[in-house]
Every structure is written in C-alpha cells, then in structure tokens.
Structure 1
Amino acid sequence: MRNIEFGLDTFAYATDDGRGGEVAGDQVIRNLIEEAVLAEEVGIDSFNIGEHYRKDLMDTASPVILASIASRTTRLRVGTAVTVLSTQDPVRVFHNFSTLDAVSDGRAQLIVGRGSASESFPLFGYDLSDYEELFEEKLELFTRLLREKQVTWSGKYRPPLNNEVVNPPLPSGHLPTWVAVGGSPQSVVRAARYGLPLMLAIIGGHPTRFRPYVDLFHRTTAEFGHGRQKVGIHSPGLIAETDQAAIDLQWPYWRALFEQEARIRGWQVPSKDHYLAEVQGGSLYVGSPDTIAPRIANAIRGLGADRFDLAYASGHVPHEVRMRNIELFGREVIPQVRELLAQNTTEVTA
C-alpha cells in the first residue's frame, strides 16, 4: 500500500467568538498555531495555510505563521494551500520557503496555483486579463529555481536573471511543490509538463468525476518523460461526534461563506438541499468519523490518490469546534482510512 499523506488545509478564517462577533485577527493567528500543534499531537501529517487578502482571512503571510508552527513541532509538514504564484515574485517565494525548509529541518512544502480569489491582482499591480500568462511564466521560472543552482532566464513580468546563483539554505533534495488544479484539462497538462505533483481542488460533486483528469495527468507526465508524480485531493469538511452534530455545526457557516462568495462572484446562493446533497454524496466531508472515513477511503482509492487534505471547518467556525475536528480527524478518521485502504476491496461503505 502506498504511504498516503493526510493533511489539514485552512484559510485562517476570523472565527466566531460565541457572542455574535469575531475573534480578533491576532488571536486567530495564535489559535491557528495551537491548531497546528494539536494536528501533530494526533498524528496528522501536514498543516497547510492558504493565501488571501480579505479582512476576514488571516492567511496573508503564511510563511511567517508556518515558521512559528515549525518551531513548535518536530514532525508535522508545514505548507501552503495555495501560494498564489501569479502575483508573487518566484525568487522571493523560493527563498522564503527554502528558508522555512531549513527552519523546519526539511518539512516545508508548497501548493502553487493561480488562485480562485482575485484580490491579489490589483493589490500587487497585476492585470487580471493576464491571469493565465502570469501563472505560466512564473511557474516556469519557479520550476527552474527548484532544479538549478545557476539560472539564466528572461520573461515579460519580472527582470531577467543572468547566471544568477541560487543558493538558499535548502536541506538535501529540493522543496516539494505541488500544482493546484480546479478542473481544467489545460492545467492538468501544465502540471504534467513540469513534472510536478498534482493537487485537485474537489469542492463539489462526486470525487470520481475527476478520474479522467488523473488519467490524463499520468499519461501526459509519461509522455513528457517524467517519472510517476503524486496526485492529491483537497476537499472541505467538518467532523463531529455524530452526523447530525456535524451537519448542524457546519451549515450556518457554510451558508454564510457561500452567500459572501455569491455576492463577490455572481453565483447563485446554494440551498440547504444542495448542502445536504454534497454532504451525502458529494465532496463535502461533514459527519461522524465512522461516516467520513469510508468516504475518504473511497475517494483515495477511486482516484489513486497519494494525499488527502481536509479543508477543515469552512467559514467562521469557532476555535473550539475546529480543535475537536482536528482531534477526531487524527485519532479516529485517519486510522480507519488506513485500515480500509489496506483491505482488498474496491469500495467500502459506512
């Protein structure tokens, strides 16, 4: 059996304080560090922080938070979910995370992507119409930085490099870097072309609908002459003692989150029926450990995945609920999933 990585992903939401308000942002960050420390204690493999620039998300400087987490842990991998490479300087990103890798004794990792949220484009002076071209150019440079010690490069969006010696404090090997894909075949082929692992953001519908993308990825990776690359799954969820408790806990925060996104992006606001359909048969892993473990095992088996990241407790879910979610995921769900995957069956049931 493959060694599957189980991680937690978060956008560092400004959490509910239980009195109708929000916890102050600085306290949210300190609470987040405690959540990561608990993640290591209960056996979770990695803790990964996103990148946004909104007043209710505290993940604008993930390398700083991750460095603090690294100082409080010894085994936990520390990474991103995702780094918006399109609006960052690849050289700076490389040095930040190679330094994090040194601080953590080789535990840093990244997921890079174009970002589904667009607020970083005007903030850093980029035109959203260059969305695709920006990511292509910056991923090409970042991959060069990963693999070469001396880089000569030129592009459209940053000054050229002329035999630049890249000598950050990396431990042996290079910095593990995954490419995030939300469902575009072109993005799958791009990840395969660079020979980087693929992280599928599966936030709706049954996960096996992404099987054609996995097959495309493995086929094109081989055609580009690379060895087998890993595939990961990023999906949202919340785990509680019972199915109904989890459903009731997540629903108001999930609804508020999607109402906000609907206003920003012009989406239709999902109904509770839609929410329950995703809980029961989609990619929203909300329920008890005994319900969630078989669903995760089936998703991993169905896609041949090497990694599963739970984007835990979406929205402004209180810190105490998030902590209990982490404990149940590490102590109960992950051991069950590993046991189910060790069985010689094609599908398991709750």
Structure 2
Amino acid sequence: MEIGISTFVETTPDVNTCETVSHAQRIREVVEEIILADQVGLDVFGVGEHHREDFAASSPAIVLAAAAQQTKRIRLTSAVTVLSSADPVRVFQDFATLDAISNGRAEIMAGRGSFIESFPLFGYDLQDYNELFEEKLDLLLKIRESEKVTWEGKHRAAIHDLGVYPRPVQDPLPVWIGSGGNQESVVRAGLLGLPLVLAIIGGSPVQFAPLVDLYKRAAAHAGHDPSTLPVASHSHGFIADTTERAADQFFPSTQVVMSKLGRERGWGPYTRESFDAARSFEGALYVGDVQTVADKIIHLRKNVGVTRFMLHVPVGSMPHDLVMNAIELLGKEVAPIVREEVTKWENENN
C-alpha cells in the first residue's frame, strides 16, 4: 500500500489575511513539501498541471525536477498532465529528463483535464476534447515503446522514423490514466493495461468499487493480468493533532475554492454542513487526527481495492507550516498504521 501527497500548487488569497503568496513563493514551498514527504517515508508526490492565476504549476515536471536531486526514494508524478492540450513528444522528453535526474523515479499521470483553460491557450478546440486525448495517448505510448517513432494522426503533424530523446532510466516509463470516474476512461485504462488513478472527491468512496471491478475486467479481457495493475485514489484531506482542529483549519480554504468552482460549474454553495458530511467515515474527505485518517484509508483499501492513496493537500491556500505538519503526520504516523493493517489483512486473505 503506497501513501503519498498531491497538490495543485494553489495561490488563492489567504482566508484570514486576504493576502496572496506569489507563484514563485508557492512553488518554492512545494519543493520543500516534496523534500519533507521523502524524509518522512512517503511513497509518491504528485503535482497537477493548471494554466490559471490561482494555480502556480503550469509545468509539473520542472517543479518535480527541482526536488529530484534533494530526495532519495519518493516517486515523482504529474497529477495530472493535461495530455489533450500537450505535445506528447515534449511530455515524454520532460519526464524522461526528470527520470534521469531522479534516477528512475518519474511517472506520468495522463488525463483529459477537468479544467479547460489550456485548450484555448494552446489553440485546441474543446469539441475535440475526447478525440485529442485518445490520439495523443496513442502517440505517447508509441514513444514509450520505441526509440524511433513512425506515427500519423489528425491533430498533430506526422512523425516518420524519428528518434525521441532522452530515453528514460525506467523501461517503460510509467504512464497512469487519471479518471474522475468516467466508465469510458476506466475501460480504456484496463484495455491498455495501464495503471488507474481515480479522483474520489465526492460521494462515498465505496461507490467507486464497481469502477475498479470494471477496470480489472477490461484488463483481463485484453489479456492483461489485473493482479499486477495498481489502482490509486486522489482525495482531499488534512491531518492535525485532533479531528476538530483538522476540520476547523481545513474548512475555510476548502470552502473558498469549492464555492468558486461551484460558481464556475453550476454547483450549489459549499457549506460547513456538506463539509462535515463529507468527512464522515463513509465520506470522501480524509480530514481528522492520525487514527481517523488511517482508518478511512484502510477502509478504502479493503472495500475499493486501491493500492495507492494520495492525500490532496491543501485545497486553497493554507499556511505552509500547517501543510508541512500534515505531511509529517501522514508519513510518520498514518502511513505506518495503514501499512501494518493492510499487510496483516492481505496475509489473512491470501
């Protein structure tokens, strides 16, 4: 059972001071967070790609590379790379370079993107949303398979027997498929035999179990061994010394971000009542003290089949020291509890 962190490197105004940290400061803080995550024994750190004012990481590979030589074992991944609006050649080159710097710890998490600002920025039509992803994923996987590439598609210039360099340390370079719970994307990942990441940020996490089953059935149908394919989840959360303190510290910035997204996407207002419901044992928020969060992750592993859990923190801008404390608690206290219980459970069921 792998445990890690994901972040979108948010730069929203502080709910208490109304001040906004610069993109440069927040990026430097995230590098410190990655280094700490490695030091406290976490397995993976993911940085998400966005192209708007309230998120600072438009280039996850560069942020991850800044921490690569200052870390020893933690895996470094995008969360996600918006592949639909990116050039797969450049994506592969960037992460192969990260793989070299980190000596084989880079991963790509490819997704279509729930945020769409990159499409007009890079000159793509949203009407091609699904087609772009399928075509570019096909090219990315061909580059991964072979040093010399011959490929032709609709939305990018053809490649005729050209090499793509550098080649990564890992062969193959890990490529995960990120999904918000769309059945089509889950089946695609299974048929391709690629690891799956589910964004579980609402409802009951146990409701995602049928999707994991669908993914494994698709993999088996395509001739892949489902038992070898990892499944990850990404969920919002926060850890403090007491559950009450964790909730009170995490709610204000979360409310600001979720309410803003709600206005953009037509959702209802985000209230403390909805927040408290989501942090119940069956809810999708992993907010609480060490034991509370550990119990929920164990429950997720046993009932959904997730083999990697990524805590997304912060949501909105929070004081850097609080985020660092949450990462330390996750690595030093939550992760050992989860790993011990999961190992015991697996031994009993094998």
TM value normalised by structure 1: 0.95
Q: Contact (CA 8 Å) 1:294, 1:340: kept in 2 or not?
A: no
State the partner residue of 1:257.
Answer: 257
State the partner residue of 1:21.
Answer: 19
CA distance in 2, matches of 1:342, 1:38: 25
Q: Deviations over 1:162-201 (max 9, x none)?
A: 1222342311421111000111111111111221101011
Counterpart residue identity of residue 51, structure 1: E
State the partner residue of 2:291.
Answer: 290
User: 5+ unaligned residues in a row in structure 2: which ranges?
Assistant: none
Answering whether residue 8 of structure 2 is matched by residue 11 of structure 1, we say: yes
Report the number of matched residues: 343
The within-5 A match list for 1:1-350 is 4-14=1-11, 16=14, 19-228=17-226, 229-280=229-280, 281-344=282-345
Cα offset, 1:19, TM superposition: 3.2
Counterpart residue identity of residue 89, structure 1: D
| SS of match in other structure, 2:269 | coil
Q: Deviations over 1:193-241 (max 9, x none)?
A: 2211010111011111011111111111111122332111111101011
| SS of match in other structure, 1:54 | coil
CA distance in 2, matches of 1:298, 1:289: 14
TM value normalised by structure 2: 0.95
| SS of match in other structure, 2:25 | helix
Bigger drift between 139-148 and 96-105 goes to: 139-148
Counterpart residue identity of residue 8, structure 1: I
Q: Contact (CA 8 Å) 1:296, 1:337: kept in 2 or not?
A: yes
Given the superposition, is the C-alpha separation of residues 195 and 239 from structure 1 closer, same or farther in structure 2, using an over 3 Å criterion? Answer: same
Identity of aligned residues (%): 45
Q: Contact (CA 8 Å) 1:17, 1:23: kept in 2 or not?
A: no
Cα offset, 1:112, TM superposition: 0.5
| SS of match in other structure, 1:169 | coil
Bigger drift between 84-93 and 296-305 goes to: 296-305
CA distance in 1, matches of 2:285, 2:89: 36
Q: Contact (CA 8 Å) 1:241, 1:288: kept in 2 or not?
A: yes
Counterpart residue identity of residue 236, structure 2: P
CA distance in 1, matches of 2:100, 2:225: 27
Q: CA RMSD in A?
A: 1.5
CA distance in 1, matches of 2:331, 2:230: 22
Counterpart residue identity of residue 333, structure 2: E
| SS of match in other structure, 1:6 | strand
| SS of match in other structure, 1:344 | helix
CA distance in 1, matches of 2:44, 2:53: 26
Given the superposition, is the C-alpha separation of residues 273 and 17 from structure 1 closer, same or farther in structure 2, using an over 3 Å criterion? Answer: closer
Cα offset, 1:271, TM superposition: 2.1
